Amino acid sequence: MKKQFGEYQRLAKGVFSCSSLWQGEDHLLYVRGNGFLIPFSEEYLRFRYKDIQALVIVGTSGRWVSAILYALGTLLFAGLCVLILSMGEGEDVGALVVTLLFPFPLTMVFLLLLVRTLLLGQRCKVEVQTSLKKERFRMLTRLPLARRVVESLDELIQESQKDLIVAGDTGQEFSGSKEPLEPSGGLSIPLSAAPAFAVSAVMGALMLVQLHVQSVVTAWVTQAMGLFLVPLLLVALAASVRRLTSDGIRFPLWGLLGSLLAVGGGGLIFLVNAAMVDPAVTVSPIVYIEAFSTVNRIDDLGFYLYFLIVALAILTLGAAGLLNVMLQKGVGKK
């Protein structure tokens, strides 16, 4: 779905873009879609700024309920990974294949959903009230996004209703947030986004080298960069939630976080599998790194292909994100 068409500018969109909220010159357009994956039907609701009596934000506790469920799912499938691997004997690859195909991907999905839930902030409900009806905006379910949208509409609504304000009455803001937000249509770039993308691109390239050249030093540097990259991504994602950030920057950040979780989870599975073959791997981190540097051996073909795909994803996402940052900065200077 486009971010802008005609006089309208998109403020928010729902899951799979089924519903969306658009800012017009003198009214707010709410596209209420119904469907699964794609909207099967759409209803267009218009709210003139001069008719809006209230925009209400109500916080809910759904964030922690979701976080607990995702954490339980992560622990459940991680436990299945350990259980299935422990049932294997020696160099039996059957247990490894079953682990990589079933419980391991679900573990990574639940872990990513857990991190995403914690980063997006508190859940909420947003309703608009006019003299004729009250409507809930389906896509505004997170408090930071809801506050940003309501703040961006506050000035337009007050300007449209200035003739209705009684002399001496300064009116009342629609949101309790006192933090200055980006003006409507303004896009911000998280400070740690560019370094995160740059480190990701280098890390992806080093992973590709590591997969084709057995080097303990490269393995150490790659994993050190991964540990350094995690806080950079978390800070950038937290900033992208609180301030308006383009999809070209926000989506690669989420993709990189998922890829790093895949690297960590895959590395853990590799360590367990290597320890089953050679218990000496668990003696020290140095021995583990030495074992990991030989992942390109033919008997570890499954791990080689897995880490090859993840390395290409990290390299591509890092390069694409860095390019989008440079392009957006170039646009901002014009």
Per-residue pLDDT tens digits for 89-137: 655 667 777 777 788 888 888 888 888 887 877 888 899 988 888 888 8
User: Is residue 181 scored above 50 in pLDDT?
Assistant: no
CB 266 within 8 A of CB 310: yes
In angstroms, what CA-CA distances link 5 with 1, 2, 64? Answer: 10, 7, 37
More confident residue, 40 or 74: 74
pTM of the model: 0.64
Rounded CA-CA distance 182/242 in Å is: 10
Rounded CA-CA distance 38/162 in Å is: 40
User: Is residue 201 scored above 90 in pLDDT?
Assistant: yes
User: Is residue 172 scored above 60 in pLDDT?
Assistant: no
User: Is residue 226 scored above 80 in pLDDT?
Assistant: yes
pLDDT of residue 270: 78
Backbone angles phi, psi at 136, to 5 degrees: -100, 135
Cβ-count burial of 334 within 10 angstroms (0-12 exposed, 13-18 middle, 19+ buried)?
Answer: exposed
In angstroms, what CA-CA distances link 6 with 26, 57, 205, 280? Answer: 13, 29, 42, 66
pLDDT of residue 185: 44
User: Is residue 208 scored above 60 in pLDDT?
Assistant: yes
Residue spans of alpha helices (H) in the chain: 62-87, 94-101, 103-120, 143-160, 193-212, 216-242, 247-277, 285-292, 301-333
User: Is residue 211 scored above 80 in pLDDT?
Assistant: yes
319 band by pLDDT with thresholds 50, 70 and 90: very high
